[in-house]
Amino acid sequence: MRIVKILSLFLFAAWIAASLASAARAATAEETLAAINKLPVKERQKRLEDGAKKEGRLVLYSNQGLETIQEVANGFSKRYPFVKMEYSRLQGAKGLDRILLEHRVAKLPADVVGVDFDNIGELMKAGVHARYDSPEKKHFAPQFWDKEGRWYVADYTLAVIAYNTNLVKPGEAPKGYADLLDPKWKNDIIIDNEPEQAVFVWLMEWGEAKTAEYMKSLMRNGAVPRRGHTLQVQLLCSGETKIAVEVYPPRVMQMKHEKKCPIAMVFPNPTPGSLGSHVGIVKSTKSPHAAALFMDFLLSEDGVVALVKGGGTIPTRKGAKAGWQEILDVLSDKRTRTVVIGHEKMAELKDKGYKLMDDILIRKQFK
């Protein structure tokens, strides 16, 4: 009898342990959110808000510009004041390396992570993002969200040529990339250290040899690499340079209309661009409810307003306005051809593109 009791207690303890293990497994971010998504709309929203109130905080890693991050964070905090939001701006290869390292050692503090189009593939391989089916995705074309819900893209960028209208008359302004090689612009041009959108599209359109020769010719004509697209617009406004090779239209319009900057832009043919920040919920998040609320907000109409107000990007949500009529007019003109690339081209272009940028723009191997 004693043996039977001991065995019964052992089996009961094993059952309890198995139940606890099962409950713990069911508490993963993906399973929690998948269960919530099965609820009716109002009940789903209430469950997310109740859960977020208990979590109390949200940590965001983003590659967006600081002004854009702040606008989105302010908009989210206004809607959900019970969630304390913290954010860090992580860009380029250094930002990617930090995310991957923290993920590998299981110390990634972020609940939501957004990276550039050329880096999202690395996060997908590493399994950083959880699957999340946001109800807002119905307002976006399929190319703007991952079919498994690991990332969503709420914006995209275009890269245009811009010039100071006090220093360059509109009739004399360059109309395309070839015009930038004119000797009259020698030493009057700036270009970003890593002009990804332009270089990757040049590779697609021209091939590696022609792209390399063009970049070398641009540098031989005195182009000066400067880090930061916003900085380049500021340098144009101050008259420290005449022309910038690759800046973003919304930022140009913002400086022109709000700061009365003497600036204008040219949409080259083709106009290069890329899908914007690829944002997704981290698989190891400790705040899945708050993370889901943030993703839904980012993709909502109010989130789009915050993105546009932050400047530098164009929203991908159907029916959303780009913010400036001059941009809308150009985008609706069929004579303007745009080439917007995403991560699917990076396996083919990334190594070539960054090698060209490093060799020619950084190491200045263009003699």
| Mean per-residue pLDDT pooled into runs of 10, the chain (367 residues) | 51 50 60 95 97 98 92 97 97 93 97 95 96 96 95 94 96 96 96 94 96 97 92 95 95 91 95 95 97 98 89 84 80 86 90 96 92
pLDDT score at 19: 47
The region that residue 333 occupies, defined by phi over 0 for left and psi between -120 and 50 for alpha, beta otherwise, is beta
DSSP 223: -
Identify the three-state secondary structure at position 156: strand
CB atoms within 10 A of CB 96: 20
Rounded Cα distance between 110 and 90, Å, is 12
Reference 199, options 49, 24, 349; nearest CA is 349
CB of 271 closer than 8 Å to CB of 338: yes
Reference 279, options 158, 364, 154; nearest CA is 154
Q: Please state, in angstroms and as integers, the Cα–Cα distance from residue 81 to each residue in 16, 295, 305, following that order.
A: 39, 16, 18
Rounded Cα distance between 57 and 112, Å, is 12
**Could you tell me which residues are beta bridge partners of residue 86?**
59
Query: Which tokens go with 16?
Result: 């309890």
Please state the pTM of the whole predicted model: 0.84
**Could you tell me which residues are beta bridge partners of residue 338?**
271
Judging by DSSP bridges, how do beta strands 271-275 and 338-341 pair with one another? parallel
Greatest Cα pair distance in the chain: 102
For residue 326, which amino acid is it?
Answer: E
Q: Can you list the domains of the chain with their CATH numbers?
A: 29-154+276-315 (3.40.190.10), 157-273+337-362 (3.40.190.10)
- As a dihedral over the C-alpha atoms of residue 166, residue 172, residue 175, residue 177, rounded to 10 degrees, the angle is -90
For residue 106, give every residue at least 6 positions away whose Cβ sits within 8 Å of its Cβ, in sequence order, or none: 284
Reference 331, options 347, 315, 350, 343; nearest CA is 315
**Could you tell me which residues are beta bridge partners of residue 273?**
158, 340
pLDDT score at 25: 44
pLDDT score at 24: 42
pLDDT score at 3: 55
Rounded Cα distance between 268 and 245, Å, is 10
For residue 25, give every residue at least 6 positions away whose Cβ sits within 8 Å of its Cβ, in sequence order, or none: 31
Encode burial over 36-59: b for 16+ CB neighbours within 10 A, e otherwise: bbeeeeeebbebbeebbeebeebb
Rounded Cα distance between 62 and 92, Å, is 11
pLDDT score at 10: 52
For residue 316, give every residue at least 6 positions away whose Cβ sits within 8 Å of its Cβ, in sequence order, or none: 140, 141, 144, 153, 154, 155, 156, 275, 276
Rounded Cα distance between 83 and 69, Å, is 16
